[in-house]
Amino acid sequence: MNGVLIIDKPSGRTSHDIVRDVKRLLGAKKVGHAGTLDPLATGVLTICINEATKLAQFFSNDDKEYRATMLLGVRTDTLDIEGEVLEHCKLNLQTEELKDVMEGFVGRIEQRVPKYSAVKFKGKPLYKWTRQGVDIEPPLRSVDVYHINVEEIRIPYVTFTVSCSKGTYIRSLCADIGDTLGCGACLTGLRRTRSGCFDEGNAISLELLADEEAIGILKKNLIPLANSLPGLRRIVVDQDTADRIRKGYQPDFGVLNDKKTPLLGKGDLVKFVMQDGSIIAVAKTLFSAEEIPQLGNGKQAAKILRVFN
């Protein structure tokens, strides 16, 4: 059993809890997830089964969309409502000021990774260092916020949607907005509504289901490997080429030159598939489509990143 599941994670459970449940229910040998959701958060969690665990690195790079609720005037040590309250501040702000400040966070921004996060320092997650009382300055990261849309303002609560690149911490975004306003803020609710090409409409809930019913729903909604990366351009190969790729062959210009690849750019991800759609490998192109016809015989044109059995 190989494929991808889109689970609607409930609040109060970790991403690892969901992985453990799916592994037990399906009796799968390998199960992993792509894009951790904090226990507070709900929504789209991509679960990879067996051979599909090789796809996790590609899903993790996907853009995300969230619906978040922010509490103004409260600062906590975890940047969300589940942490220890560090400060309460009185509010004296106008709606337009709030919207202007939030709009200022659209674009490429710098975020400091939360101290309570799974990012590792010397091989150990930051949250473990923090809980042990070791004060470590988390690293800064550049992330992209594509848009922020304020849905509702009921001071001190603000509900908004945000579209962003991988690695964006919404609780950090709330805290930074609060700091800019001068009153502080923390995250009180978060739902991931989209991860890459999968949205909440694809997500299945396992809450309150008996094991037998849950197993049936999981099997019915398993996305085959061939359909798991719909955004990647397909390059169809014959059985001989597929066997060679599985043995370590790095595709040369001949494999790409006779394919319909007019839109390929250097560094694009592609998937090599059989005629029946079964996936053989994911690769990164080393040249653009315009350059491929000019390459000499035997010149490597793509680098294989993952091979599937």
Token pair in block for residue 38: 């904090």
Catalytic residue among 8, 21, 38, 80: 38
For residue 117, how many other CB atoms are within 10 A of its CB? 19
Whole-number Cα distances in Å, 202 to 18, 48, 84, 223 = 16, 15, 35, 10
Query: What whole-number distance in Å separates Cα of residue 43 and Cα of residue 212?
Result: 23
The helices-and-strands tally (H runs, E runs) of the chain is 8, 17
Residue 38 annotated to the active site: yes
For residue 198, how many other CB atoms are within 10 A of its CB? 22
Spatial contact of 238 and 201, defined as CB atoms under 8 Å apart? no
For residue 193, how many other CB atoms are within 10 A of its CB? 18
User: What type of residue is 115?
Assistant: K
Token pair in block for residue 51: 């051979």
Measuring CA to CA, which residue among 62, 72, 203 is closest to residue 150?
A: 72
Spatial contact of 38 and 172, defined as CB atoms under 8 Å apart? no
Distance of CA 163 to the CA centre of its chain: 12
Which distant-in-sequence residues (6+ apart) come within 8 Å of 298 by Cβ? Answer: 252
Beta-bridge mates of residue 266: none
Q: Based on the number of CB atoms within 10 Å of its own CB, is 168 exposed (0-12), middle (13-18) or buried (19 or more)? A: buried
**Angle between helices 95-103 and 170-181 in degrees, nearest 10:** 130
Supply the residues annotated as catalytic. 38
